[in-house]
Amino acid sequence: MSPNTTPNAPKNNPAAPASEAAGEHKVSNFLRQIIEKDLEQGTYASRHWAGTPGDAAHHAAGPLDPAKIRTRFPPEPNGYLHVGHAKSICLNFGLARDYGGVCHMRFDDTNPEKEDTEYVNSILDAVQWLGFGWEANGQNHLFQASDYFDFMYRAAEYLVQSGHAYVDEQTAEQMRANRGDFGKPGVDSPFRSRTPAENLARFREMRDGRHEDGSMVLRAKIDMASPNINLRDPAIYRIRRATHHNTGDKWCIYPMYTFAHPIEDALEQITHSICTLEFEDQRPFYDWLMERLIEGHLLAAPAPRQYEFARLNLTYVITSKRKLAQLVYDHKVSGWDDPRMPTIVGLRRRGYTPASIQLFAERIGVTKSDSWIDYSTLEGCLREDLENKAHRGMAVLDPVKLVLTNWAEAFGADDYTEDCTLPALPHSAVPEGQTPPPDRVFKIGKEVWIEREDFEEVPPKGYKRLYPPRPGADGQMQPGNIVRLKGGYVIECTGCAKDVNGTVLEVHAKVIPDTKSGTPGADSVKAKAAITWVGVADGVEAEVRLYDRLFSDPQPDAGGKDFIEALNPNSLKVVTAYVEPSLAAAQPDQKFQFERFGYFVADRVDHVAGVKPVFNRVTGLKDSWGK
Ligand code: ATP
Ligand code: MG
């Protein structure tokens, strides 16, 4: 990866936010209040920005920062991003957009784990797909933390020389034991009183590879009795012989995350460093480190400030890259982009739109206390986004053939077909003054596919769909039920054909001529219900993947539970369906509302328009279809 050289990097936040599209006003939250106060007070008004990250002198030589605030999204490139990251992306990029700021895209790659370019690329794709970018003010704000290793080392030497850090040679067990706990203050390390000169020599030996991995660490010298255990001389550098994807074998010592992250923020002139609540206890160290490095004139003032918000917990979903990786590597799902995965690539393939995810992030808001968000909130946002956008279409998911036995008698020939039309969008979905999209056209003929459940030989009470003639209470035969084939004719059920096991092979009915939808005779015969159907003449066979929740447990990994146990065995059902021609012609990724069933998307990987239609169910309709 080479940050700052990406050609045509997208502009910072080019897309209009979904909430605006949905006409929703931004709800204030504690972060917005903090930023508004900072802007009002001019907290960051006199900051300089040299155009690239750097130390105090670097920025001092640059102009005033054109960005009113700077935020950042700092993933570790060790997996695919998930819906929790989407919350953080929408938050950080969204705040920068709303307040005249810039959001940096930063890879937090200080851990010398093998970085995978597959992850790097997928992360950049995910952020862009969600509608955000890192180019602003003619500059490209894509950074990687490992570029700051030299500065981090310099900062560590400064702490050593100024008496704020020491090399500790206790074993890991001794260090743990001497750290104390909530009720017990820590015990000073016997190495704590070394002179800065001794510490500097030792630290340089560490850097020069003169000591074994794990034999010693550099610790900040703060307070072994602090009630905040994170301030009891936290480790800031460790020895680790590992080849780093960016710096190769240049280093055998690496900074700890708690030391690296504040420095990354400061070098990038971040103003509001927003992270999840588990970092709250680290904030005092963040501030301590910033004060030391500013007083040493290494970093520019004012320092970035850390603010914590509650991470997203979504029911029936796990949001841990490590656990998601396990699902992939154990083949519990088909890959990172399996439509059941809460990864951004999974949500995308499932049919979620960037606007629906932005709307979701806006709606759940940011708070300072943990809670669980119901999965249906996300589904609701998708419905809201697609309601007026997704074209309607008919699909038969559990097909049985309906034969209109009097077809030739009514229309002259068995092979006669007739065009039917229905609007692609209901009238209410088309904004005033806009031309509606062209109607869908599909054929009705002697044979059509209907849903198996739309015929009952012995109808349950209140059943309004197809059932054959049967004796009434008075013993007299009552005629079969009358329904409308949606957009087509009214028909009267006459019976069915069954196999030896009693399975219905065909449903039989009579077409009632002159009742076609949209013609003057349409209302001449009262139909009890309208049913969806697809013509045998022009219907196209399609694979439809009916996805359900991946887990049966609303909190699959809470309290250390084995989430593999909670996998829902019925999370995918594949059916062979028939779809009307307008659906079969879909482009990959195109979304539809299958009438009565919900929202579906043409699979972006497997669907081939007209040839091999493949659809994924995104979510059902809010209201279950009429009984
Ligand atoms: P994971 O445990 O899945 O690896 P992480 O927090 O370690 O998640 P990072 O790559 O370090 O992953 O995260 C990048 C950013 O995304 C961080 O600022 C982090 O706070 C944020 N983030 C991660 N998970 C969530 C979540 N569930 N809700 C909100 N923000 C999240
Ligand atoms: Mg992490």
Tens-place pLDDT, residues 96-145: 999 999 999 999 999 987 778 899 999 999 999 999 999 999 999 999 99
Q: Examine the pLDDT at 605 and tell me if it is beyond 80.
A: yes
Residue nearest to atom 4 of ligand 1 (CA): 321
Strand order, beta sheet including 102-107: 70-73, 102-107, 142-144
Which residue of 85, 280, 308, 341 sits with most ligand 1 atoms within 8 Å of its CB, as the best mutation to test the pocket? 85
Q: Could you give all domains of the chain from N- to C-terminal order, each with its CATH number?
A: 1-309 (3.40.50.620), 315-394+537-627 (2.40.240.10), 399-531 (2.40.240.10)
Specify the pLDDT at position 27: 87
Helix residue ranges, H only, 162-223: 172-178, 196-207
pLDDT at 194 (0 to 100): 96
| Residue pair 308/31 in contact by the 8 Å Cβ criterion | no
Q: Is the CB of 87 under 6 A from ligand 1?
A: yes
Averaged pLDDT, 378-392: 97
506 CB within 6 A, ligand 1: no
What is the 108 CA–ligand 2 centroid distance (Å)?
Answer: 9
**Is 429 a residue whose pLDDT tops 60?**
yes
Does residue 506 carry a catalytic annotation? no
pLDDT of residue 266: 98
Of 221, 321, 383, 549, which one is the catalytic site residue? Answer: 321
Distance, CA 324 to ligand 1 centroid (Å)? 13
Does residue 104 have its Cβ closer than 6 Å to ligand 1? no
Q: Is 365 helix (H, G, I), strand (E, B) or coil?
A: coil
Is the pLDDT at 611 greater than 80, yes or no? yes
**Separation of 612 CA from ligand 2 center, angstroms?**
41
Residue 11 has what DSSP assignment? B
Give SS3 for 77.
Answer: coil
- Residue identifier of the C-alpha nearest atom 2 of ligand 1: 320
17: left (phi over 0), alpha (psi -120 to 50) or beta: beta
Give backbone dihedrals phi and psi of 418, rounded to 5 degrees, phi first.
Answer: -140, 140
Tell me the HSE value of 236 on the side-chain side, using a 13 A CA sphere: 33
Based on the residue annotation, tell me whether 311 is a catalytic residue of this protein.
Answer: yes
Ligand 2 center to 514 CA (angstroms): 67
Tell me the whole-structure pTM to 2 decimals: 0.93
- Reference 233, options 272, 287, 173, 192; nearest CA is 192
Is residue 165 very low, low, confident or very high in pLDDT (cuts 50, 70, 90)?
Answer: very high
Distance CA 584, CA 612 (A): 8
Question: What length is written for the chain?
Answer: 627
- Ligand 1 closest atom vs CA 89: 16
Annotate 41-57 with DSSP letters as a single string. Answer: HTTTTT-B--SS---HH
Q: How far is CA 592 from CA 553, 596, 615, in A?
A: 29, 12, 10
pLDDT tens-digit series, residues 254-278:
999 999 999 999 999 999 999 999 9
> Do the Cβ atoms of 506 and 401 come closer than 8 Å?
yes
CB atoms < 10 A from the CB of 624, how many?
9
Q: How far is CA 543 from the centre of its chain?
A: 25
**Does residue 38 surpass a pLDDT of 80?**
yes
Question: For the residues 450-466, what does the mean pLDDT come to?
Answer: 97
User: Does the pLDDT value for residue 292 go beyond 50?
Assistant: yes
> CA 49 to CA 46: how far, in whole Å?
10
d(CA 364, ligand 1 centre) in Å: 17
- The closest ligand to the CA of 108 turns out to be 1
Q: What is the 79 CA–ligand 2 centroid distance (Å)?
A: 10
Can you tell me the distance from the alpha carbon of 59 to that of 53, in angstroms, rounded to the nearest whole number?
8
Residue 117: per-residue pLDDT:
86
For ligand 1, atom 26: residue with the closest CA: 84
Question: Pick the catalytic residue: 20, 24, 76, 280?
Answer: 76
Residue 158: CB partners within 8 Å, gap ≥ 6?
292, 293, 296, 298
Closest to 231 (Cα-Cα) out of 302, 175, 288: 288
Look at residue 32 in the predicted model and tell me its pLDDT: 97
Q: How many helices (H) and strands (E) does the chain have?
A: 16, 31
Q: What is the pLDDT of residue 4?
A: 39
Q: Is 262 in the pocket of ligand 1 (CB under 6 A)?
A: no
- For residue 625, pLDDT over 80 is answered with no
> Cα separation of 42 and 68, whole Å?
9
User: Could you confirm whether 573 is annotated as catalytic?
Assistant: no
What tens digit of pLDDT does each residue of 522-568 get? 999 999 999 999 999 999 999 999 999 999 999 999 998 999 999 99
What pLDDT does residue 11 have? 52
Average pLDDT, the chain: 94
So what's the pLDDT on residue 12? 54
pLDDT, mean of residues 72-95? 97
Mutate to test the pocket of ligand 1, among 90, 93, 264, 276 (most ligand atoms within 8 A of CB): 276
**Cα–Cα dist 171/479, whole Å:** 89
Q: How large is the average pLDDT for residues 421-439?
A: 94
Residue 22: is its pLDDT beyond 70?
A: no
Burial class (CB in 10 A: 0-12, 13-18, 19+), 248: exposed
Q: Are strands 477-478 and 482-485 parallel, antiparallel or unpaired?
A: unpaired
CA neighbor of 218 nearest in space, from 249, 259, 247, 180: 259
- Looking only at the bridges linking them, the beta strands covering 490-498 and 235-239 are unpaired
The pLDDT tens digits of the residues spanning 316-368 come to 999 999 999 999 999 999 999 999 999 999 999 999 999 999 999 999 999 99
Ligand 1 contact, 367 CB (< 6 A):
no
Residue percentage of the chain with pLDDT more than 90: 92
Which ligand has the shortest distance to the CA of 76?
1
Is the C-beta atom of 276 inside 6 A of ligand 1?
A: yes
Distances, alpha carbon 342 to alpha carbons 348, 362, 378, in Å:
9, 18, 11
H or E element, residue 530:
strand 530-531
Q: Of all protein residues, whose CA lies closest to atom 29 belonging to ligand 1?
A: 311
Q: Is 200 exposed, middle or buried (0-12, 13-18, 19+ CB in 10 A)?
A: middle
- Marked catalytic residue, from 68, 179, 238, 311: 311
Q: Which residue has the tokens 């703060």?
A: 222
Ligand 1 neighbourhood includes 429 CB (under 6 angstroms): no
pLDDT for res 618 = 97
| Residue 282 Cα to ligand 1 middle (Å) | 16
pLDDT of 25 strictly over 70: no
How far, in Å, is the centroid of ligand 1 from the Cα of 261? 14
